[in-house]
Amino acid sequence: MADLPKQEHFVATAIEDDHEAACWGCGLRLLLPSYSPVFKCGWCGAITSQNERECENHGFWWRRVRDRCFVCVIVGFMLFVICGGVWAVYPVIFSVSNFCGILHSCITVILSITTVSMFSLAAFRCAGTPPIIQWGSYPVVGKGYLENYTFCHYCSKPKSPRTHHCRSCRMCILDMDHHCPFIGNCVGAANHQYFIAFLVSAIISMIYVSIMSTYAVMHVWPPLSLRALGHLSGTNNQIVWRTFKEVIFAFLSSALLLSTRGLVLVYLFFSSVSVEIGLSVLLWQQLCYIYLGKTYLSHLSSHGDEVGEKDCKNLFRFFGCPYFISRYLPDVWNSPKRHNK
């Protein structure tokens, strides 16, 4: 008993409306008001919620099937872009010169391998498990050892700060940002970097596909059949409007004569542009949260309160930049500080 920490004694007045509750972290029993839904232990710092219930598995299999379907659609789209782009674009590229064809083939292989690899690491790598800690009774847990820890009734174990339980993955995720159905996995501490790398690689790949498909479709598009525009009469606005209608009609008429290769190129252009716009917005949002030192879930739970310090060093730390490099860039990369007069 000599090794046990010195116990602290508290004297409290019992009120009729009070009830006795036990801390899940250290086991101490406390008198709390009956209307207190959440309390924090003064010894170990653990947070206990009186209203938490055990999880319900309702909808789990539906979410699992949804995630698997999204992953299959994404994989199928990537394979179609790679295979369809090679089939539709590269006959035109190799017709220019062999050097041009070999160069663009190497670029395609590098972008394809990078995008598929980053997607696989983000989708099939564990998003991050919280640390395993010792807990259970007053002599075992030291003072402040479980500070701001909560108890997860889904996993039946302590949950560290910045950890959230995902009902789709059925586990607690450390530094959970969000559950992404398109990768069928959570974005957390272990795969967040791969998710950002996948977004960057996918955006670069989509820009490359849109440029190459535009270049190729210009060579396979049927010639436009325009009537003589010089005979148009009327005001300037009428001439411009009739010319515009004539060009659109000729463009649509020639589109009906497109070959299968041309239709694939048109689809690749519009799909790549739409995907790169959506992924660019998502990447910008992710980088903004990293700059703020937050995740998406912590941003929602903070209700506008600052969780971390706004600093570009957050970006360096996130991408694993060594400290001895970022420490020499305080004047350039630090956020400007506002001084009140």
Q: What is the mean pLDDT of each run of 10 residues along the chain (341 residues)?
A: 46 52 82 72 83 64 90 94 91 88 94 95 90 81 87 85 87 91 92 94 96 88 63 61 70 72 89 95 93 83 58 78 53 43 37
Contacts of 4 (CB under 8 A, 6+ apart): 139
Cut 0.85: pTM above it: no
Tell me the backbone φ, ψ of residue 50, rounded to 5 degrees.
Answer: -80, -20
Annotated catalytic residue 23: no
**Residue 84 and residue 268 in contact, taking contact as beta carbons nearer than 8 Å:** yes
pLDDT tens-place string over residues 117-149: 999 999 999 898 888 887 878 778 888 888 889
- The catalytic position among 180, 288, 312, 321 is 180
Say if CB 115 and CB 78 are below 8 A apart: yes
Contact assessment for residue 163 and residue 174, using Cβ atoms and an 8 Å cutoff? yes
CB-based contact 320:193 (threshold 8 Å):
yes
Q: What pLDDT is recorded for position 236?
A: 62
pLDDT of residue 224: 64
Torsion angles phi and psi, residue 181, rounded to 5: -70, -20
Q: Residue 303 and residue 133: Cα distance in Å, rounded?
A: 29
State the greatest distance between any 2 C-alpha atoms of the chain, in Å, as a whole number.
Answer: 108
3-state secondary structure of 145: coil
**Mapping DSSP to helix (H, G, I), strand (E, B) and coil, where does residue 239 land?**
helix
